[in-house]
């Protein structure tokens, strides 16, 4: 495992586009976390100024324990597309620079090539999750005046769900990159599928198979926090328990994505 990590680090450390995109992702995520409360307060002020008393005000105590974990996880999920682009770059660069072929010549097996990319998926997901954990802990301690250890830990399961969702989404992006090979086409397919192709059946058949489609089942790991605004807009909000069915379905999809990626590598002439 250490040798595989060394090999992958040598390739990644020299990839300027990877680091550029990763920095953009981290900065965008942190700025979103920092500006979230201010944005909600400004929105509330606009609601008050408009005189629309029927509109409920947005919650502004988003950094309090235990709700901070759910709130930040829900916001962070909208930035996962940036991390998927990073993952696509890592895979498609292997084709662009023939590094997979060189790795095979140096003695790596095709299974080990897939393991390297799976490691990338897990590490990128872990980095994002750690950022969420650190920011959530700092803001939770800063804004919560009276809390117990139980309050601090009570909704931490949403952070675990966020990690699982990221692993699933990045695994999907990895599979597409192995299938398509070209970065621009892969990103375009990912965007079209994520925001058009899957959304239509996901909502049309939401009471049946729609919620078990790949990306929909992952997103349902972290539903919207319970607020009057989401209720008014008929947006499904979360219960206190993450659905076990969606955890299982996401794990199955992850296994499928990894298996397809391996089959592509095993059958394709690199």
* DSSP per-residue codes, 2-65: HHHHHHHHHHHHT-HHHHHHHHHHHHHHHHHHHHHHHHHHHHHHHHHHHT-TTSPPPP--TTST
Q: Is residue 53 part of a domain?
A: no
Q: Does residue 80 contact residue 169 with C-beta atoms inside 8 Å? A: yes
Is 50's pLDDT higher than 50?
A: yes
pLDDT for the residue 148: 83
Q: Which of 53-57, 68-72, 178-182 has the lowest mean pLDDT?
A: 53-57
Q: Is residue 121 part of a domain?
A: yes
pLDDT for the residue 135: 94
Tokens of 18: 């990877």
Is 9's pLDDT higher than 50?
A: yes
Is 232's pLDDT higher than 50?
A: no
Q: How far is CA 43 from CA 37, 227, 254, in A?
A: 10, 15, 38
Is 119's pLDDT higher than 80?
A: yes
Domain region containing 64? 2-47+59-267
pLDDT for the residue 133: 96
pLDDT for the residue 229: 45
Tokens of 13: 């450390």
Q: How far is CA 111 from CA 98, 103, 166, in A?
A: 17, 12, 22
- Whose CA is closest to 224, among 105, 70, 102, 58? 70
Is 239's pLDDT higher than 60?
A: no
Q: Is residue 54 part of a domain?
A: no
Longest Cα separation, the chain: 70
The residue to which tokens 């601090």 are assigned: 152
Q: What is the pTM of this model?
A: 0.90
User: Which residue has better confidence, 117 or 226?
Assistant: 117
Count of domains forming the chain: 1
Is 217's pLDDT higher than 90?
A: yes
Q: What would the mean pLDDT of 70-98 be, rounded to a whole number?
A: 93
Is 15's pLDDT higher than 90?
A: no
Report the distance separating Cα 42 and Cα 58, nearest Å: 10
Mean pLDDT of the chain: 86
Q: Is residue 256 part of a domain?
A: yes
């Amino acid at each position: 495992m250490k040798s595989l990590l060394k090999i992958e680090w040598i390739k990644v450390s020299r990839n300027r586009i990877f680091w550029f995109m990763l920095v953009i992702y981290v900065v965008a995520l942190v700025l979103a976390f920092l500006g979230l409360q201010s944005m909600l307060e400004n929105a509330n002020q606009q609601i008050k100024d408009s005189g629309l008393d029927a509109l409920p005000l947005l919650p502004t105590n988003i950094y309090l324990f235990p709700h901070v974990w759910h709130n930040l996880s829900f916001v962070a999920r909208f930035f996962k597309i940036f991390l998927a682009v990073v993952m696509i770059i890592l895979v498609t660069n292997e084709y662009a620079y023939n590094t997979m072929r060189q790795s095979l010549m140096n003695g790596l097996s095709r299974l080990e090539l897939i393991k390297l990319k799976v490691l990338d998926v897990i590490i990128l997901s872990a980095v994002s999750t750690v950022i969420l954990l650190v920011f959530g802990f700092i803001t939770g301690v800063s804004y919560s005046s009276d809390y117990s250890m139980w309050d601090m830990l009570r909704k931490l399961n949403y952070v675990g769900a966020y990690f699982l969702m990221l692993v699933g989404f990045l695994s999907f992006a990895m599979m597409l990159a192995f299938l398509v090979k070209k970065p621009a086409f892969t990103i375009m397919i990912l965007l079209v599928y994520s925001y058009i192709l899957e959304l239509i059946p996901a909502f049309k058949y939401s009471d049946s198979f729609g919620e078990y489609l790949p990306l929909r089942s992952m997103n349902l790991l972290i539903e919207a926090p319970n607020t009057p605004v989401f209720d008014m807009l008929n947006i499904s909000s979360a219960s206190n328990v993450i659905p076990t069915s969606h955890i299982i379905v996401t794990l199955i999809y992850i296994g499928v994505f990894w298996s397809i990626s391996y089959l592509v590598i095993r059958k394709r002439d690199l």
